[in-house]
Structure 1
Amino acid sequence: MEQLHPSPEHHPEPGNWPTPETAYALAPSIIREIGWTAQTAADKPFGTALGREFWLRKAAVLDRIALAGEDAGSPGDAREVATEAARRLMDLDDTTVICDPRHYVRQQYIHWAKHQ
């Protein structure tokens, strides 16, 4: 599996965060992403760590689920779960960015999607 690195944009200006619509414009369906993350986790050999792509895509799909709940007026626990997954990605990236973790996921996802 190719090692993916965080984008070089670790000190962006607050106004430079992509909107969810922009960040996820190239994203597969939520169902497809759930399937990809589940299959990737299931296929992982015991004792090996999941890579950055897994954590980025998992955080992004959870963010998208949370956004759908927020738009429907019933975020439930999705917002908290999405934020925790985003923090996991930030920890993995050892980033110095101080921001809403979900904004960081969107920025990193758009960078990743454009370079596929």
Structure 2
Amino acid sequence: MINDPSGPEAAYANAPEIAAEIGWIAKHTNTPPADALAEREFRLRKAASLDRIALQEEATRPSGLAAEAIATAVQAAEDFATYDAEHGPLTFRGAELATADDFRAYVREEYRSWRHAQVA
């Protein structure tokens, strides 16, 4: 799975700490985005942070106890994909999303691409 470009290892390899991301999200929650790119970044970082939290829950807790974190991550991922579909940058891969895992993988792919662009 490590070579899977949509896998969490590849997507979140150089991501900031979850606490830092949550701080950034909280800071920007009540601030209207300056433009569509800022709105997309907010939604992407929120979905990715919730996905990372769900991944931690899945790894450390029984599935029944991780269910709420997983459902929250899936909802954020679906919201992000819906935003992308409505505003244009939804990739071909994104147009084929069908399952909860598909939506979370989409967030990982987009986050990895976004982080790569930030670091480059």
Question: TM exceeds 0.5?
Answer: yes
Runs of 4+ in 1 over 6 A off after TM superposition: none
* C-alpha displacement of 1:60: 0.1
User: Which structure 2 residue ranges, 5 or more long, are not aligned?
Assistant: none
Could you tell me the TM-score, scaled by structure 1's length? Answer: 0.77
User: Which structure 1 residue ranges, 5 or more long, are not aligned?
Assistant: 1-14
1:91 aligns with 2:82: yes
Q: What root-mean-square deviation, in Å, do the aligned CA atoms of Structure 1 and Structure 2 show? A: 2.1
* C-alpha displacement of 1:16: 5.5
Tell me which of the two structures has the higher relative contact order, counting C-alpha pairs closer than 8 angstroms and 6 or more residues apart: 1
Question: 2-side partners of 1:69 and 1:113: how far apart?
Answer: 23
Map 1:25-104 onto structure 2 (within 5 A).
25-44=13-32, 51-73=39-61, 74-94=65-85, 95=90, 96-99=95-98, 100-104=102-106
Could you tell me the TM-score, scaled by structure 2's length? Answer: 0.75
Matched residue type, 1:113: R
Q: How many residues matched?
A: 100
Name the structure where helix makes up a greater proportion of residues.
Answer: 2
* C-alpha displacement of 1:76: 3.6
Q: Deviations over 1:38-80 (max 9, x none)?
A: 10113337xx986000000000000000000000123141000
